């Protein structure tokens, strides 16, 4: 009955919102990209793969989830050599990164949660296991898997502080779906308790840790090599995953920060590609010397001008930030100066880089709390951001020790991937015995 009313509401929303969606598709590329796949038209090669091999389907919404499952996907490939792994995403940036990480031949856009679109993919792929990253719950997709007897597992499962009140209010809606999940592998005890409270069966919930502690940047991005070459050894502040309002705050503080270290450089990496142009305009207006990372693509490395002290590099590429963090004297992790929940501080932590974040980090509260408990991360408001960065720049010994502690926290929390693989192996073994 709940599914009936959900689909009725979904249909009403599609009809009412059709003019807006049509306008967005006509004017914005990201709304057009992958539209046919989202509506259920699958590439023939994917369908052939589903007919020839038992499949494991992983769904990772965007860049953060793709990064989180990247090592897990490799371990599942090794653990199940007789099965093929396919990966779906929701966003264009997630799609681009997944294609780079896993190969375009097994990556696709997840179908919209429409009965016919979901049915088309399940008919063709016939997965033996469906894995969701974090909490991407879609009623039609889940229900279709349950009807076909496809076990559904959730990895890196969490319920953020921001989402918790909404899930709790609507637990009557979620319980019929969540109670039928086969495995829920939670990041923390708090997440596990919240998931059980909104309908997951306690016997199917386990705390395995955060997959993001196992992600290692194993390849040097081209941006990293170029920055090392062009920077002539100058120290860098790398500001990653920034959102609107944060770039302007950093640029406003930049002259004061440069007074503390006139040979410093700044790397700005906006979170969303569609904002690259807006940030470029902001830099142009600021009068601060700056360069686009993407402009280096068309030039031989030997002809690119070295970076002058005080220059800002706009990192307007996808998939290079994690590697670039390794060059940072200090990392600022964005989405945290404004109430957006913050982004992942583990990317710089793995390189032993001292980390600064704003006060809004609800999306990564457990990780930030672990780092803060070890004095491996500083919190700064917009008003004291410059002072916090200057303090770390001037006390290099304290900054180095802080980065070392961040790396220790990162290493101590590792192991979630192995625990996930073990749990998924047991789940598939149960299914095989039931056949």
Q: Specify whether 405 is located in the same domain as 420.
A: no
Q: Which structure tokens are listed for 173?
A: 């809606």
Domain-embedded: residue 15: no
Range of the domain at 352: 222-412
The DSSP bridge pattern shows strands 127-133 and 205-207 to be unpaired
What is the structure's pLDDT at 282?
A: 97
Domain-embedded: residue 145: yes
Domain-embedded: residue 214: no
Average the pLDDT over 355-374 and give the result.
Answer: 93
What is the structure's pLDDT at 25?
A: 66
Q: Specify whether 262 is located in the same domain as 399.
A: yes
- Assign residue 373 the CATH number of its domain: 3.40.50.2000
Catalytic residues, which ones? 65
Q: Which structure tokens are listed for 241?
A: 């995953």
What is the structure's pLDDT at 217?
A: 64
Instruction: Tell me the average pLDDT of the chain.
Output: 90
- Please tell me the least confidently modeled range out of 20-24, 186-190, 375-379, 400-404: 20-24
Domain-embedded: residue 379: yes
What is the structure's pLDDT at 430?
A: 81
Q: Specify whether 197 is located in the same domain as 239.
A: no
What are phi and psi for residue 335, nearest 5 degrees?
A: 70, 10
On the question of pLDDT at 26 being above 70, the answer is no
Q: Specify whether 238 is located in the same domain as 120.
A: no
What is the structure's pLDDT at 289?
A: 96
Q: Specify whether 195 is located in the same domain as 82.
A: yes
What is the structure's pLDDT at 8?
A: 79
Query: How large a percentage of the chain has pLDDT more than 90?
Result: 68
Q: Specify whether 232 is located in the same domain as 259.
A: yes
Q: What is the DSSP string of 56-124?
A: EEEE--SHHHHHHHHHHHHHHHHH-TTSEEEEEESSHHHHHHHHHHH-GGGEEEPPPS-HHHHHHHHHH
Q: Specify whether 404 is located in the same domain as 424.
A: no
User: Higher model confidence: residue 5 or residue 38?
Assistant: 38
Which strands make up the sheet holding 377-379, listed edge to edge? 290-292, 312-314, 265-270, 236-242, 330-333, 355-357, 377-379
Domain-embedded: residue 43: yes
59 neighbors 132 (Cβ within 8 angstroms): yes
The pLDDT tens digits of the residues spanning 80-112 come to 998 999 999 998 889 998 998 899 899 999 999
Domain-embedded: residue 387: yes
Q: Specify whether 306 is located in the same domain as 227.
A: yes
Domain-embedded: residue 7: no
Q: Specify whether 114 is located in the same domain as 255.
A: no
On the question of pLDDT at 433 being above 60, the answer is no
Q: Specify whether 74 is located in the same domain as 162.
A: yes
The pLDDT tens digits of the residues spanning 47-72 come to 777 677 789 999 999 888 998 999 99
Q: Specify whether 52 is located in the same domain as 118.
A: yes
- Assign residue 189 the CATH number of its domain: 3.40.50.11720
Q: Specify whether 78 is located in the same domain as 132.
A: yes
What is the structure's pLDDT at 363?
A: 85
Instruction: Please state the domain count of the chain.
Output: 2
The pLDDT tens digits of the residues spanning 267-279 come to 999 999 889 999 9
Torsion sign over Cα 115, 116, 121, 123: positive
The pLDDT tens digits of the residues spanning 319-354 come to 899 899 999 999 999 999 999 999 989 999 999 999
What count of Cα atoms within 13 Å lies in the side-chain half-sphere of residue 415? Answer: 7
């Amino acid at each position: 009955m709940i599914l009936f009313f959900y689909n009725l509401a979904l249909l009403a929303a599609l009809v009412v919102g059709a003019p807006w969606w049509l306008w967005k598709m006509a004017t914005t590329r990201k709304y057009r990209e992958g539209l046919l796949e989202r509506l259920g038209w699958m590439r023939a090669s994917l369908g052939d793969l589903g007919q020839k091999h038992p499949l494991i389907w992983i769904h990772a919404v965007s860049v953060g989830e793709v990064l989180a499952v990247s090592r897990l996907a490799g371990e599942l490939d090794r653990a199940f050599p007789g099965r093929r792994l396919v990966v779906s995403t929701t966003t264009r940036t997630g799609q681009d990164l997944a294609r780079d990480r896993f190969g375009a031949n097994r990556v696709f856009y997840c179908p919209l949660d429409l009965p016919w679109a979901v049915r088309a993919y399940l008919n063709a792929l016939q997965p033996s296991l469906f894995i969701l990253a974090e909490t991407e719950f879609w009623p039609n997709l889940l229900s279709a898997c349950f009807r076909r007897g496809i076990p559904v597992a959730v990895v890196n499962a969490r319920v953020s502080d921001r989402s918790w009140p909404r899930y709790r209010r609507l637990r009557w809606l979620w319980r019929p779906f969540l109670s039928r999940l086969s495995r829920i592998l939670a990041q923390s005890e708090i997440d596990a308790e919240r998931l059980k409270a909104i309908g997951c069966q306690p016997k199917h919930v386990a705390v395995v840790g955060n997959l993001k502690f196992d992600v290692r940047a194993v390849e040097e991005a081209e941006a990293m090599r170029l920055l090392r070459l062009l920077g002539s050894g100058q120290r860098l502040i790398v500001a990653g995953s920034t959102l609107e309002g944060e770039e302007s705050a950093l640029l406003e503080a930049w002259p004061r920060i440069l007074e503390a270290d006139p040979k410093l450089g700044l790397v700005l990496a906006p979170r969303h590609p569609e904002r690259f142009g807006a940030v470029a305009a902001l830099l142009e207006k600021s009068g601060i010397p700056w360069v686009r990372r993407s402009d280096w693509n068309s030039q031989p490395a030997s002809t690119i001008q070295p970076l002058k002290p005080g220059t800002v590099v706009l990192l307007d590429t996808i998939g290079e930030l994690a590697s670039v963090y390794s060059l940072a004297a200090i990392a600022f992790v964005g989405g945290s100066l404004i109430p957006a929940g913050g982004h992942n501080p583990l990317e710089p932590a793995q390189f032993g880089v001292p980390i600064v974040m704003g006060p809004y980090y609800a999306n990564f509260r457990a990780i930030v709390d672990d780092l803060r408990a070890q004095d491996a991360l500083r919190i700064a408001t917009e008003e004291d951001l410059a002072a916090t960065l200057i303090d770390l720049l001037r006390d290099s010994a304290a900054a180095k020790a802080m980065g070392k502690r961040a790396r220790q926290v990162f290493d101590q929390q590792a192991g979630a991937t192995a625990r996930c693989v073990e749990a998924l192996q047991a789940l598939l073994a149960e299914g095989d015995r039931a056949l």
